[in-house]
Amino acid sequence: METTKKVTWSIDPAHSEVQFKVKHLVISTVTGQFTSFSGGLEAEGKGFENSRAVFEADVDSISTNNKDRDTHLKSADFFDAENHPKITFVSTGFKKTGEDTYEIIGDITIRGTTKPIVLKAEYGGTTVDPYGNTKAGFEVTGKLNRKEFGLKWNGVTETGGVVVGDEVKLLLNLQYAKN
């Protein structure tokens, strides 16, 4: 009986981005990112179906190109980075849904609260870089409600509108290196 060889992959942070988008004043969108993160995949054989994915972002690395806003996001009003320094994700399912698409089901933990999330992933392909390293690329998208994770701060405008939207869109462009 032939056993399937496990293949491990690590995120290449130099060629990956972890971004989020949230409505501001209901009229525009603010984009932010985490600049320090890590993660990996454990695949069975050549494909990625039934892989196990893990991911971790350092809350202190949040950047929205505005120092005051970043400081506020790290505070107890939002992420509470001092007490909850990491955002983590662990997959519970990795299902092929099309030729180059996957659904990744898992648990995301933000500010000490863990909730299930469903992410969509588009596989960009696998190639060998000029240094002989095998690389694979994915674009991962999803959304969550920030209030479900205790990020409840908000302000109200003169007209009764909210300052920060509840829905947060996630966009991760991840390049993995085969270990």
Tell me what pLDDT residue 39 has: 98
Tell me the CATH number at 164.
2.40.128.110
Please give the structure tokens belonging to residue 47. Answer: 């494909």
Question: Which residues sit opposite 138 in a β-bridge?
Answer: 123, 174
Tell me what pLDDT residue 135 has: 97
> Which residues, at least 6 apart from 39, have a Cβ–Cβ distance to it below 8 Å?
10, 11, 53, 54, 55, 56, 89, 174
Nearest to 109 by CA among 137, 151, 67: 151
131 lies in some domain: yes
Residue pLDDT tens, the chain, 179 long? 556 789 999 999 999 999 998 876 555 678 899 999 999 999 987 789 999 999 999 999 999 999 998 998 899 988 999 999 999 999 999 999 999 999 999 999 999 999 999 999 999 999 999 999 999 999 999 999 888 887 665 554 444 444 566 778 999 999 999 99
Tell me what pLDDT residue 154 has: 58
130 lies in some domain: yes
Rg (alpha carbons) of the chain, rounded to whole number? 18
Length of the chain: 179
Domain that holds residue 157: 6-178
1 lies in some domain: no
171 lies in some domain: yes
**How many domains does the structure of the chain reveal?**
1
